[in-house]
Chain A
Amino acid sequence: MAGVALENWKEQYRDPAIECMSRDEMSALQSERLVKQVKNVYEHVPFYRKKMDELGVQPGDIKGIEDIGKLPFTTKEDLREQYPFGLLAVPQEKIARVQGTSGTTGKLTLASYTQKDVDVWGECVARGLVMAGLTSADRIHVCYGYGLFTGGMGLDLGAKALGAMAIPMSSGNTKRQLMCMEDFGATAFGCTPSYALYLAEAAQEAGIVDRLQLKASINGAEPWTNEMRKKIESILHINSFDIYGLCEITGPGVAMDCIHHKGLHVYEDYFYPEILNPADQTPCAEGETGELVFTTLAKEGMPLLRYRTKDLTSIRYGVCECGRTLPRIQKFTGRTDDMKVIRGVNVFPTQVETALLSMGGGVAPHYMLVVDRENNLDVLTVMVEVDEKYFSDEIRRLDELKEKVGAVLKQALGISVKVKLVEPKTIQRSEGKAKRVIDNRNL
């Protein structure tokens, strides 16, 4: 089986009434849900009652979605302080499941779901699966990790809501993944984009691509570029889609891109997005980059008001070529966390990836940034794997390649970069999130 070319694509919708709703109707729906949600959290979550009282905001002040700016923010630190169950808006016996993410500090960020929250989550993922051209007849190989991490469970719930077959592989053991993919006739798979590329390369090396029945992949949980998507698509002959989510809001299924890949459609009937200036939290204009902030409009277990995701993006309204009116957030410029300030310049790993891939097929999209401080100066080294086809027996050619990479990166980042060519496959491929930056500075 194979991916479908854009001109032959037939768009399908799981919930056209919502996905293609007019802006006025959507605003009315959001307003109704926000008013109800604010009243709910004020009554049931002491944390929010206190925050709103401090700001002098009462539930009655929120008359519609246009009043959202009056509400307090929620931060990751708030979630840590309220860990594990401080933000529940329902009695604990109503909680059907918890999911979480491992924090770098060692403390988890935990999210609690009622059964209805779980159903909504599955429904949102299912909308995305349909957007990827899948139906109840499909077999979805899930090689996201299962466990507290939302990836595995999210795709699984989506498959269940769709009525498709889930193959709960979880992550790791690439050989076994490929064997099962072939034997069970998976028609789609979900995992992080870096692992998708790793799997694609492994399938190619094993010479089994033609024996797979894949037509789509759903990849998220880390930033990736269109070039990386095209590479995965061309190796496996499939269509790949970007899925976004975070466990605080629900997990994967908050937003997903359609076949036109012009941004990720946000399921704004459940998750209301704002883009705010990172400096003063004032709203950004349409198309302007800022921090993505979410309010969960219908969540029961752990509703959040204006949760600051630290993800930087911009948003576009207006009807997409796919027919959906759901607004689109652009691929992330990065997370405020991943951003490295090197010699005063903000550097995001995704910028490096975009620059490397813009060079054409020569350099594989596997790279690692190493930041050092030598004699009080920041030094950025980019380790780049030399693709097999670019590898030359002539040192002159390799030096030219190195210079070209250096020039492209300097152009993209605005700072000079040391380039180190490394042997193919030497940079570790992650089965979870790819580690792209090593910061050796003791700041």
Chain B
Amino acid sequence: MKNTIQQLSVFMENREGRLDEVLSALAEGGINIVALSLADTSEYGMLRMVVSDPQMGKAVLNDAGITAMLTDVVALRVPHATGSLSRAMHHLVAGGVNIEYMYAFANGSDAAAVLKSDEPEKVVELLRGNGFEVYGADEAYKANKWDVSQ
């Protein structure tokens, strides 16, 4: 099983309604957003998302004339215990990997920290080697998906 997951990244010019267009396209395509992070600069925004089906998400956006790309990221399982993220980060620093950016989402009994690094496989190795768990793709894409019938 692959230990990295695919993030859907979208470059958006700063103009009125652009975010709405992106989100509408995903909604109409039946793509569920598990987690998102929106970084902004003075000129453009960068929307990064974990979604239910990254490939389909990219296709849906491309069809709507929106350019999106897929990036390999690592979703670290962070238990709801004080200091757990700190300990994980400590191991990554000690292992010499650089984290470009990070965002998080809660998932029931625990949480996930989405990490972007130039060396995703090494990140996984360091985390696993130190007793941490990472989300598999299927698990991450389905996170927080509630079955309404229950």
Contact = CB atoms under 8 A, between A and B. Distances in A.
A423 B67 contact: yes
Interface string B1-22: 0000001010111000000000
A32 interface: no
B46 interface: yes
A398 B69 CA distance: 14
Give chain B's interface residue range (CB within 8 Å of chain A).
10 to 19
Given A393-B116, A394-B100, A396-B100, A421 B67 contact: no
Nearest to A425: B65
Interface in A384-419: 386, 388, 391-396, 398-399
Given A393-B71, A394-B101, A423 B12 contact: yes
A422 interface: yes
B28 interface: no
Interface in A3-53: none
A175 to B, nearest CB: 15
B67 to A, nearest CB: 5
B46 A388 contact: no
A386 B11 contact: yes
A18 B11 CA distance: 55
Contacts of B101: 394
B78 to A, nearest CB: 22
A144 to B, nearest CB: 27
A424 interface: yes
Scoring B9, B12, B44, B66 by chain A CB atoms within 10 A of each residue's CB, the highest score goes to B44
B43 A421 contact: yes
A426 interface: yes
B81 interface: no
B39 interface: yes
A395 B65 contact: no
Interface in B43-79: 43-44, 46, 48, 65-67, 69, 71
A94 interface: no
Contact of B67 (A388, A394, A395, A420): A388
B13 A422 contact: yes
Contacts of B12: 423
A399 B46 CA distance: 12
A396 to B, nearest CB: 7
B41 interface: yes
Contacts of A398: 11, 44, 46
A394 B65 contact: no
Contacts of A426: 13
The 4 closest A-B pairs by CB, nearest first: A393-B9, A393-B71, A424-B67, A423-B13
Interface of A: 386, 388, 391-396, 398-399, 420-426
8 contacts: A386-B67, A388-B69, A391-B11, A393-B116, A394-B100, A421-B11, A423-B66, A425-B67
